[in-house]
Structure 1
């Protein structure tokens, strides 16, 4: 009888854990509003490389300085710079989820003063970027954008 009672209690506990989110998950809903202000410099000649810095801030008061590195390749040539760019993250539970590698594919063309917008994804987390800058660029490329915490 004790064995059946122990099995029943165990089953009830597992069911309750599956139905109710853990306290950590409940405290950090997926709609945590996080944005990023950034600057980015890019050059490309078949190989494309971008480097920059940003500041991520979330509605819950957390913030983090990040380094932005993008690498890729394709049919691309140019040199440009974006200052005062903005980004918005979606489906974030905590600020640490913004770090990592995002997939990137884009077609671009611009000369002089230009605007840019693109959406990057990393699993369930997405990052929509927009900004204006100066330079000249033309091409199509595929690559990866990495956000890492700066010291």
Structure 2
């Protein structure tokens, strides 16, 4: 019995400990246009509770029933729990609704595998529509 317990203990101790999960946020600015095709570019900062931080470049491309030109300043994003800031980088799929005249509003919920990102922001411009597309976050 002692040998079995020792063997199981040895196996459990040799398994890698799961990484601690952390919550990250994104502060961003975007500028762009849409006329059925949609393209926005910008930059931001990803900050995680574990102290990791990165400046990022953002590119968003998509299409749908959409028209306008706008910019979002100081937008906010909440990222689902991740093991490392590295899991934040990559391309997310989104469904976007946007509307505004002189004052623009944005709301997006998107996913990249097990990682989800919810964005909200206000800015300037005119825009109206819904679109589906890709939102890429890359370290600068």
TM class by smaller structure: 0.7 to 0.9
TM (normalized to structure 1)? 0.80
State the Cα distance separating 1:88 from its structure 2 match.
1.0
How far 1:44 sits from its partner (Å)?
Answer: 0.6
Whether 1:139 and 2:133 are equivalent positions in the alignment is no
CA distance in 1, matches of 2:94, 2:109: 8
Q: Secondary structure at the match of 2:86?
A: helix
Out of 49, 63, 86, the position equivalent to 1:96 is 86
- Aligned CA RMSD, in angstroms, stands at 2.1
Change (3 A) 1:105 1:62: same
Matches within 5 A, 1:81-120: 81-120=71-110
Give the Å deviation of 1:39.
0.4
- CA shift, 1:107, in A, is 2.7
- Structure 2 gaps, min length 5: none
Output one character per residue of 1:14-71: Cα deviation in whole Å (capped at 9) or x when no partner.
xx38xx9622x23x22xx1211111001201111001000001111111001111011
Aligned residues: 134
Compute the TM-score of the two structures, normalised by the length of structure 2: 0.86
In the other structure, the counterpart of 1:22 is 16
Q: Does 1:35 align with 2:29?
A: no
Give distance in 2, aligned partners of 1:73 and 1:117: 16
Per-residue CA shift, 1:62-90, capped at 9, x if unaligned? 10011110111112110000001111111
Once superposed, which parts of structure 1, at least 4 consecutive aligned residues long, lie more than 4 Å away?
Answer: none
2:75–2:122: 8 Å Cα contact kept in structure 1?
yes
Q: State how far apart, in whole Å, the 2-side matches of 1:85 and 1:21 are.
A: 41
- The structure that is strand-richer by fraction is 2
Name the CA distance, whole Å, in 1 between partners of 2:84 and 2:99: 35
